[in-house]
Amino acid sequence: MTHLWVRAEQRANEERVGLTPEGVRALIDKGLRVTVEDSSVRAIAIDGYREAGAEIAEENSWPEAPRDAIVFGLKELPEDGTPLGHRHIMFGHAYKGQPAGQELLKRFKAGGGTLYDLEYLIAENGRRVAAFGYWAGFAGAAVSVKTWLAQAHGALCGPVGVYAGRDALVDELKSELAAVSGRPDVIVIGALGRVGTGASDLCTELGLGVTKWDMAETASGGPFPEVLEHEIFLNCILANEGCPVFVPASAKTAARRLSVIGDIACDPTSDFSPIKVYDRTTSWAAPALRVASDPVLDVTAIDNLPSMLPVESSIDYAGQLLPSLLTLTDIDAGVWARAKAFFDTHSARV
């Protein structure tokens, strides 16, 4: 019997989950065994999973799960160097030259396990079957606006946290914008995708002017001086080999109106990053990194943005992913086989 083990998230500020109680019920009806770890932080309470028929395990007990269980989480595992023997479903961030990702692949190689990277669960047409993109875009745009608001007060953006829902976040931003003069203009690159749609929706709801670019506008390969002519730039594309540079290192000292970069795609250590003015992610405690002072330029690049709205983003993502989870009984076919092929190719290189 296929056994799915839903682990608790161990990453700070991570309350999301990729499976709802309704999804548990559907998987059990399909003949799967489902174990869900208790969690002190998960946005969806454990009682619903228990009532849906899941077996409940202790928080962070997945290393002792049966060897044939498929361990399912979202964000990174603790970086303790231990070999990984299970099959894991998660976001690995391991296939674009990221140093931490290379270490992760070495752990799988040492333990004989397999990574089914959620970023590489793709349909036959090459499109991802599930993504947190919309809420990443929505929250990333919000943090970028907060960064601009802090600049308006001569400050660096302070800590951000979890919101009860989108309305609470929007209402807070509208109130903060009402307290300053002027409004920033925004350029969104990748505006037609999930991430860009979420970012554009937040800006429109706040009454901000938005320039929307996608593949047609960036097909020339650059340079793109228009980016520097907007106060906020929101990068919403998933960079791969051949991606043009949107913000070169020279932007730090260039004449520009640009003062905030929201790198929502957030992959600064990748060889393909289109933003060359910074080299590390930011955090909930320190969401903005100042990379230039004359004139000011701040970058915000939080890599688990959807967890600012954990209930909405979890329900949305879990609904997209469930059809694929229902096919885990045939893990050697379809989206799972394609994900394993990515793993086999990249793990062979480490």
CB 268 within 8 A of CB 275: yes
Q: Is the pLDDT of residue 22 over 90?
A: yes
Q: Is 96 helix (H, G, I), strand (E, B) or coil?
A: coil
Comparing CA positions, the residue from 244, 266, 154 lying closest to residue 199 is 266
Q: Residue 97's pLDDT is what?
A: 81
pLDDT tens across 25-56, in order?
Answer: 999 999 999 999 999 999 999 999 999 999 99
CB 74 within 8 A of CB 14: yes
- For 9-13, 68-72, 296-300, which range has the lowest pLDDT when averaged over its residues? 9-13
pLDDT category of residue 121 using cuts at 50, 70 and 90: very high
pLDDT category of residue 10 using cuts at 50, 70 and 90: very high
- Rounded to an integer, the average pLDDT of 268-294 is 94
pLDDT category of residue 241 using cuts at 50, 70 and 90: confident
Q: List, in sequence order, every residue forming a beta bridge with 298; answer none if it has no partner.
A: 260, 290
Cβ neighbours, 10 Å, residue 197: 19
CB 47 within 8 A of CB 38: no
Give Cα 336 distance to the centre of its chain: 20
Contacts 24+ apart (CB under 8 A), 59-63: 59/8, 60/7, 60/8, 60/10, 61/37, 62/5, 62/7, 62/37, 62/86
- Please give the structure tokens belonging to residue 211: 């320039």
Q: Is the pLDDT of residue 350 over 90?
A: no
- Rounded to an integer, the average pLDDT of 194-211 is 97
Active site amino acids? 75, 93
User: What is the percentage of the chain residues whose pLDDT exceeds 90?
Assistant: 91
The C-alpha torsion from 220 through 222 and 227 to 228, rounded to 10°, is: -150
For tokens 């799967």, the residue is 32
Q: Residue 178's pLDDT is what?
A: 97
pLDDT category of residue 69 using cuts at 50, 70 and 90: very high
pLDDT greater at residue 156 or residue 11: 156
| C-alpha to C-alpha distance for 344 and 350, rounded to whole angstroms | 11
Q: Is the pLDDT of residue 98 over 90?
A: no
Comparing CA positions, the residue from 88, 95, 76 lying closest to residue 113 is 88
CB 46 within 8 A of CB 24: no
This prediction has a pTM of 0.86
Q: Residue 116's pLDDT is what?
A: 98
Q: Residue 3's pLDDT is what?
A: 98
Q: Residue 311's pLDDT is what?
A: 93
Q: Residue 104's pLDDT is what?
A: 96
- Rounded to an integer, the average pLDDT of 110-132 is 96
DSSP output for 215-284: HHHHTT----HHHHTSSEEEE-----TTPPPSB-GGGGTS--S--EEEESS--TTSTT-SB-S--S---S
Mean pLDDT of the chain: 96
pLDDT tens across 143-172, in order?
Answer: 999 999 999 999 999 999 999 899 999 999
Q: Is the pLDDT of residue 239 over 90?
A: no
- The phi, psi pair for 228, rounded to 5°, reads -75, -10
